[in-house]
Amino acid sequence: MTRPGSPDAYYRRAKSQGYAARSVFKLQEMDRRYGLLRPGQAVLDLGCHPGSWLQFASQKVGRSGRLVGVDLQEPGVSMPQGSCFIQADLLELTAAEVQERSGVEVFDLVLSDVAPHTTGIKDRDAAASLELSQAALDMALALLKPGGSFLAKVFFGPGVEDLIRQVKGAFKLGKAHKPDASRSASKEIYILGRGLKQARPG
Ligand SMILES: C[S@@+](CC[C@H](N)C(=O)[O-])C[C@H]1O[C@@H](n2cnc3c(N)ncnc32)[C@H](O)[C@@H]1O
Domain boundaries, the chain: 29-196
- Say yes or no: CB of residue 51 within 6 Å of ligand 1: yes
47 CA → ligand 1 middle, Å: 3
* Helix, coil or strand: residue 122: helix
Residues 198 and 148: beta-carbon distance below 8 Å: no
pTM for the complete prediction?
Answer: 0.94
Task: Specify whether 153 is catalytic.
Answer: yes
CATH assignment, 29-196: 3.40.50.150
Cα-to-chain-centroid distance, residue 102: 17
27 CA → ligand 1 middle, Å: 14
pLDDT, tens digit only, all 202 positions of the chain: 445 445 588 899 999 999 999 999 999 999 999 999 999 999 999 999 999 999 999 999 999 999 999 999 999 998 888 899 999 999 999 999 999 999 999 999 999 999 999 999 999 999 999 999 999 999 999 999 999 999 999 999 999 999 999 999 999 999 999 998 888 888 899 999 999 997 666 5
